[in-house]
Amino acid sequence: MSRLKGNIAVVGIGEVPTGRYPERDCMDGCVTSAVQAIADAGIDKNEIDCVVPCGTVFSGAYNSDLVTSRVVEELGLSRVHNNVQVFSGGASSASMLKVAGSLVQSGMARHVLCVHSEKLGTGLSGQAGIDLFALAGIHREWEVPFGQHYSTIAGLVTTRYKYETGTTDEQITAVQVSNRKWAELNPNAMFRKPLTVEEVMKSKMLATPIRAKHSNMLADGAAAFIVTSAERAKDLTETPVYVLGSGGRVTHHSLSQEADITRFGYAEAAADAFEEAGLSPKDIDIAEIYDSYPIFEIIALEEMGFVERGKGGAFFLEGRTWPGGELPTTTNGGMSSQGHTGGGGGFAILVEAVRQLMGKAEKRQVPDARFAAVTATGGTYVDAQVEILGNEIS
Amino acid sequence: MTQSDEKPNRPEPEVSRVGAPFWEAAGNKKLLIQHCKACNENIFYPRIRCPKCHREELDWIEASGKGVIYSYSVVLNNAPSGFLADMPYVVAIVRLEEGVQMLSNIVDCDPDTIHCDMPVEVVFREVGKFTLPLFRPAEQI
C-alpha cells in the first residue's frame, strides 16, 4: 500500500475547451491550461520545481519538445529541478498523479505541474487518425496483420460481454446518453446536444456491435493540475483535493493475450484503492469512469463493486448515473462527449473529479460531494487504474 | 473474404527473430506454437524467453489447428487503410485446443452465422508474400 494517503493534494486545475481548433497550436493549449492551474493554485510560477508533461501521439517532433523541457522555457520557470515526461496512454493521468505525489512525498519536489495537450482533432486527417489508431499500442507482428484497430477491440470486448451477461445493445448504448446528459452542462465538451438511444442505434455500424456514435471522437484539448503536499495545500486553498487511495493492475499488451476480456483488472485495483482509503463503493459520491467506448464504463463500474455484474447497462439506462441520479458518473461527458485527446482522455476525467470536489463544477456540480473514484486505462485497455480522491481525509 | 479479394496493401507482419519460424511454417501450411521444454508451458505468441519460467529452452509444436471463437467483431466501415478493400471482414480471438489465444480472421462463412464459442479450424491464406493462419467454422465435434 502506498504512503500517499492524506499526504498529497491537488491544489489547482486548468483546462481549455476540447474540440477542433485548427488555429490553436498544441503548445497554446498546454501553456493556457498550465497558467490557469498555477493561478488556481495561488502559487508563484517559480515555486514550481518539477514539470511532468504527458506524452503526445499526434506529432513525434512535438513530443520531443516536451521531453526536452520546452514547457519550462515557454512558461519562463526559473527553479525547475526536473522535467520528467510520464506517459501511459490514456492512463497517463493516474501515472502522473502517482509520480508527482511520490516526488512530493519523498521531498524531491514541492510543487509539481502536470500538463497535457493534444491535437488529435486537427493535427491529423480523418483517415490518418484511423490509421494511427490501427497501430498505436497494437502488436505489429501478431495483431496488425489481421486488421485489429480500436473499433474491433471495443467490438471484441462488447460481443463477449453481451454473450456472457445477456446485456442488450440498448443498455450498452445508454452509457452514451448518460455521458451526453453531463456534457450538455459542460462548456468544455465537444458534443453538447441531447442524444438518444435511437440516434446512436441508427448511426453507421463500424465493427459489430460498435456503431459510429458508440465511438469517441478524436479532438484537440489540454488540461493541467498542480500537486503539492497536504501540509502546503492548507496555505494555498480552502479546497485541497487529497489523494486517499490508489490501485492499478496491468493485465496485457495485446488484447488477444488477455484471459478475461470482460473484466480486466478493475476488481483488484479498486480493492487496493478502497483499502488504502478506508472507504467502500457506498461511500463514493461521484464515479469518474474512463470510457472511450461504452462497454469499458460498464465493466469498470461493475468490477469496482458499484453495481452487480451484468446489471451495469440497466443501471445507465434507468438514469441512475445521470445528473441528479444516485451515482453521478463521468460528469464531464467522457471521451464520447467531451472528446478523445489521447493521453488526455483520462487526464480530463481526473481534472473533472478534482473540479467537482473543489465545488467548481458550476451547472453540473454534484451537491455535497466528498469522495470520488476515478479510473483510467491506456492503450488496448492494458491496465485498470483507480484513484480515490476526497476533499477531506477519510 | 476470398483469396482473390486480398489486396497487397494489407499490412504484412513485422517479423521478429523469434517469430520467423512460425511464419516460415505457415508458408508450409503448418500452425506452430512455442513450447517450453523446462516448464512444459504452451506459448503463443512466440517469446524471447518463456513468460512463465524465463528459461530459454523453447521449441515448437504443431498445433491441431482446432479451437473456438472467444470473441469476434465484423468490420463494416472505417477500417484501417490496408483493410478497406477487405470489408466486410471478421476479426476474432481464437482459443486453440492447446490452451493459447491468437488473433485472426474468420473466413469462408456468412458473418451473421458466427457466434462466441463456435468451433473453428485453421485455413491458410496468402497475403502478399506471407501466408496467414485464418480460421473457418469447423464441423461440430
In a domain, A107, yes or no: yes
Residues of A with CB under 8 A from a CB of B: 127, 130-131, 134, 139-149, 151-152, 155-157, 159-160, 163, 204-210, 212, 254-257, 259, 261
The shortest C-alpha distance from B32 to chain A (Å) reads: 13
Q: Give A-chain residues touching B16 at CB under 8 angstroms.
A: 141
In order, the DSSP letters of A284-337 are -SEEE---SSHHHHHHHHHHTTSS-TT-HHHHHHTTTTSTTSSS-B-TT-HHHH
In a domain, A91, yes or no: yes
The shortest C-alpha distance from A224 to chain B (Å) reads: 32
CATH number at residue A91: 3.40.47.10
Q: Does A255 contact B93 at a Cβ distance shorter than 8 Å?
A: yes
Q: Are strands A383-390 and A241-250 parallel, antiparallel or unpaired?
A: antiparallel
Instruction: For residues B14-32, give the mean pLDDT.
Output: 97
Stretch (H or E) spanning B72: strand B66-75
Res. B108: pLDDT tops 90: yes
The shortest C-alpha distance from A216 to chain B (Å) reads: 13
Count of the separate structural domains present in chain A: 1
pLDDT along chain A (394 residues), means of 10: 92 97 96 98 98 94 97 98 97 97 97 97 83 86 96 98 98 98 98 98 98 95 98 96 98 97 98 98 98 97 98 98 98 96 92 98 98 97 98 95
Rounded CA gap, A55 and A42, in Å? 26
Res. B141: pLDDT tops 80: no
DSSP state of A218: B
Q: Give B60-88 pLDDT, tens digit per residue.
A: 999 999 999 999 999 999 999 999 999 99
Cα torsion at A41, A44, A47, A48 (round to 10°)? 60
In a domain, A251, yes or no: no
Give me the sign of the Cα torsion angle A343, A345, A346, A347: positive
Q: Cell 463514493, residue?
A: A284
In a domain, A227, yes or no: yes
Q: Does B12 contact A145 at a Cβ distance shorter than 8 Å?
A: yes
Q: Give A-chain residues touching B88 at CB under 8 angstroms.
A: none
In order, the DSSP letters of A44-96 are -GGG--EEEEBP-SS-HHHHHHHHTTHHHHHHT-S---EE--B-BTBTHHHHH
Any CB–CB contact under 8 A between B34 and chain A? no
Nearest Cα residue to A93 out of A13, A189, A192: A13
Q: Does B127 contact A139 at a Cβ distance shorter than 8 Å?
A: no
**Domain span at A42:** 8-124+219-236
Pull the grid cell for residue A174. Answer: 445508454
pLDDT confidence of residue B57: 95
β-bridge mates for residue A227, sequence order: A10, A112
In a domain, A382, yes or no: no
In a domain, A292, yes or no: no
Q: Count CB atoms within 10 A of the CB of residue A265.
A: 23
Any CB–CB contact under 8 A between B131 and chain A? no
pLDDT tier for residue B140 given thresholds of 50, 70 and 90: low
Res. B1: pLDDT tops 80: no
CA A64 vs CA A54, A131, A350: distances in Å: 11, 22, 25
In a domain, A196, yes or no: no
The per-residue b/e assignment along A146-183, b for 16 or more CB within 10 angstroms, e otherwise, is: bbbbbbbbbbbbbbbbbebbebebebbbbbbbbbbbbb
Give me chain B's average pLDDT, please.
Answer: 93
ipTM above 0.90, yes or no: yes
Task: Determine phi and psi for A155, rounding to 5 degrees.
Answer: -65, -45
In a domain, A117, yes or no: yes
β-bridge mates for residue B33, sequence order: B61
Instruction: For A131, name the nearest residue in chain B, comparing CA atoms only.
Output: B80
Contact status, residue B84 vs residue B136, Cβ threshold 8 Å: no
